[in-house]
Amino acid sequence: MTPVQGARARARIEITAAIKDEARRQLAAEGAAKLSLRAVARELGMVSSALYRYFPSRDELLTALIIDAYDAVGAAAEQAHATALTAAPGDHLAHWTAACRAVRTWAVAHPHEYALIYGSPVPGYTAPEDTIGPASRVGLLLVGIARAAYQDKGIALLPLPDVLAPEARRLAEDMAPDLPPPLAVALVSAWAQLFGLVSFEVFGQFNNVVQARDTFFAAAAERLGRETGLLRTC
Amino acid sequence: MTPVQGARARARIEITAAIKDEARRQLAAEGAAKLSLRAVARELGMVSSALYRYFPSRDELLTALIIDAYDAVGAAAEQAHATALTAAPGDHLAHWTAACRAVRTWAVAHPHEYALIYGSPVPGYTAPEDTIGPASRVGLLLVGIARAAYQDKGIALLPLPDVLAPEARRLAEDMAPDLPPPLAVALVSAWAQLFGLVSFEVFGQFNNVVQARDTFFAAAAERLGRETGLLRTC
DNA sequence: GTCTATAACGAGATAGAC
DNA sequence: GTCTATCTCGTTATAGAC
User: pLDDT of B72-83, one tens digit each?
Assistant: 999 999 999 999
pLDDT at B232: 55
For residue A47, the distance in angstroms to the closest alpha carbon of chain B comes to 25
Separation between Cα atoms, residue A230 and residue A150, nearest integer Å: 8
Hey, is the C-beta of B210 within 8 angstroms of any chain A C-beta?
yes
Whether B178 and B147 have beta carbons less than 8 Å apart is answered as yes
Domain B67-230 classification at class level: mainly alpha
Q: What is the pLDDT of residue A4?
A: 54
A15 touches strand D (CB under 7 A): no
**Cβ distance of A233 and B185 shorter than 8 Å:** no
Q: Do B188 and A216 touch (CB under 8 A)?
A: yes
Mutate to test the interface with A, among B62, B118, B173, B193 (most CBs of A within 10 A): B193
Banded model confidence at residue A216, pLDDT cuts 50, 70, 90: very high
User: By the CB < 8 Å criterion, does B156 face chain A?
Assistant: no
In whole angstroms, give the CA distance from residue B234 to residue B229.
11
Tell me the C-alpha distance between A83 and B222, whole Å. 35
| Contact call for residues A34 and B34 (beta carbons, < 8 A) | yes
A47 CA to C15 C1', in Å? 15
pLDDT score at B161: 93
Enumerate the domain spans of chain B: 1-55, 67-230
Residue type (1 letter), B230? L
CA separation for the pair A37, A51 (Å, rounded): 7
Handedness of CA B185, B188, B194, B198 (dihedral sign): negative
Task: At B55, give phi and psi (nearest 5°).
Answer: -135, 125
pLDDT tens for A165-183 read 999 999 999 999 999 999 9
Residues of A in Cβ contact (< 8 Å) with B197: 189, 192-193, 196
Contact indicator for A176, A202 with CB cutoff of 8 Å: no
CATH 1.10.10 for the B1-55 domain, yes or no: yes
Q: How far is residue B55's CA from residue B62's CA, in Å, rounded to a whole number?
A: 9
Q: pLDDT digits over A21-68, tens only?
A: 999 999 998 899 998 888 899 888 888 888 888 998 889 999 999 999
Q: Decide if A121 and B189 are in contact by the 8 Å CB cutoff.
A: no
Q: What percent of chain B has pLDDT over 90?
A: 90
Q: Is the CB of B122 under 7 A from strand D?
A: no
Candidate CATH numbers 3.40.50.300, 3.40.190.10, 1.10.357.10, 1.10.760.10; the one for domain A59-230: 1.10.357.10
Average pLDDT over residues B98-123: 98
Reported as a single tens digit per residue, the pLDDT across B43-100 is: 999 999 999 999 999 999 999 999 999 999 999 999 999 999 999 999 999 999 999 9
Minimum CA–CA partner of A174 in chain B? B209
pLDDT at A229 over 90: no
For the domain made up of A1-56, the CATH class stated in words is mainly alpha
Residue type, B122: V
Q: Which residues does chain A have within 8 Å of residue B169's beta carbon, measured at their own beta carbons? A: none
pLDDT at B158: 82
pLDDT for B160 equals: 92
Torsion of CA B206, B208, B210, B212, to 10 degrees: 120
Q: Given an 8 Å threshold on Cβ–Cβ distance, is B167 in contact with A34?
A: no
The upper half-sphere exposure of residue B117, i.e. CA atoms within 13 Å in the direction of its Cβ, equals: 29
Determine contact: B163 vs chain A, CB below 8 A.
yes
Predicted local distance difference test score (pLDDT) of residue A7: 81
Q: Which residues of B touch A164 (CB under 8 A)?
A: 212, 215-216, 219
Q: Is B231 on the interface with A (CB under 8 A)?
A: no
B47 touches strand C (CB under 7 A): yes
φ/ψ (deg, to 5) at B106: -65, -45
Nearest-Cα residue of chain A relative to residue B175: A209
Under 8 Å between Cβ of B24 and B65: yes
**Which residue blocks in B31-47 are alpha helix, DSSP H?**
37-43
Nearest residue to B166 (alpha-carbon basis) of A211, A232, A158: A211
Q: Is the pLDDT of residue B31 over 90?
A: yes
pLDDT tens-place string over residues A67-123:
999 999 999 999 999 999 999 999 999 999 999 999 999 999 999 999 999 999 999
The yes-or-no answer to whether A1-56 and A59-230 have a common fold is: no
C-alpha–C-alpha distance, residues A101 and A79, integer Å = 11
Chain B positions in Cβ-Cβ contact with residue A30 (cut-off 8 Å): 33, 123-124
